[in-house]
Amino acid sequence: MSVRTKIILLLVPIIALLVAGGLYFLNKGHKKVVVENEALQKEVEPQSLVSDGVKLNDEAEPLNDIVEEKIEEAKEEEKIEKVVEEKKDEKEDVKEESEEEIDFDIKNKLVSWGYTKSSTRTIDTIVVHSSYNALGGDEYDTDLLIKEYKEYGVSPHYLIDRKGKVYRLVEDKNVAYHAGVSETPDGREGVNAFSIGVELINNKEDEYTKAQYSSLNNLIDYLEGKYKMKYILGHDEISPGRKTDPWNMNWKKVDR
C-alpha cells in the first residue's frame, strides 16, 4: 500500500466526522430559532390594537363596514361642498344682477337757456314730467326734443330717453324752468325755486319702457342721497287743471 493511499484512508473518517458535526450544530441552531420565534410570537401577540381610532379585536366592526362608513362620509362632504359652491354661485348671480340694476350713469348735455343761475337754493321736491318732439320728425328723438325746449325757452334738469339714458341739461344748483305756475301740497308756490325737474320721453298714448322706470328710480335714489326730499310729484299734481303729464305713469313702479 502506498503512502498516498494510507493518507487518504486516514482523512476519510476525519472528514466524515467534521461533516456530521456541522450538520448536528446546524440542525440544533434551526430548532433554537424556531423555538425563539414561537416564544416571540406568544410574547407580542396582541390582545387589542388601535388603528386610526378603531379598536381591532373580537368586538371590532368588520373592515368592510368601516370602509363603507368612510366612503359615505366622503360622499357627504362632497355633497356639502357642492351645496356651498352652488350657494356661492347664487350669491355671485344676485350680486351681478344687483350691480346691473344700479348701473347708473348721467351724461352731461348742458343747455344755455331755460334756467336762472343760483347757488343758495334749498331743494326738497322732485317733479316728474313727460314730453315728446311735436315739431316734426321722430317723436322720440332726444336732440329734436331738446331743440323744442329751446323754442319755448324751457328746460328740465334731467331728461330720460326711451332706452333709459339719463341726460343732465341743467345743473341742480340752478333754477330750471320746468314747472310753470305751480303749488306743492303744503301750499308753497313757484315750485321751480326748490325743485328738480325730470322729463321722461313719452307721448300721450304709449307706455314708459322698463328701462325708463329703472333709470327714474335710480335718479330718485341719487337725488335723495344728495338732498332731503319732501315730495316726489307729477306735473299734474302741482298744476292741476293746467297740466296732465306725466301721461300714463304707473306710480306703483316709482319709488316715492
> DSSP assignment, residue 61?
P
Tally of CA atoms within 13 A in the half-sphere of 195 that contains its CB: 28
Phi, psi dihedrals of residue 227, rounded to the nearest 5°? -130, 155
Closest C-alpha among 236, 256, 231, 230 to residue 248: 236
Sequential DSSP letters for 153-179: T---SEEE-TT--EEE-S-TTSEES-S
What is the rounded CA–CA span in Å between residue 231 and residue 254?
Answer: 13
Q: Could you tell me the three cell numbers for 125? A: 321736491
Task: Tell me whether strands 195-201 and 125-131 are parallel, antiparallel or unpaired.
Answer: parallel
Query: Which residues are marked as active site?
Result: 199
> Is the alpha carbon torsion for 117, 222, 229, 129 positive or negative?
positive
Closest C-alpha among 140, 163, 161 to residue 211: 163
Q: Could you tell me the three cell numbers for 31? A: 430548532
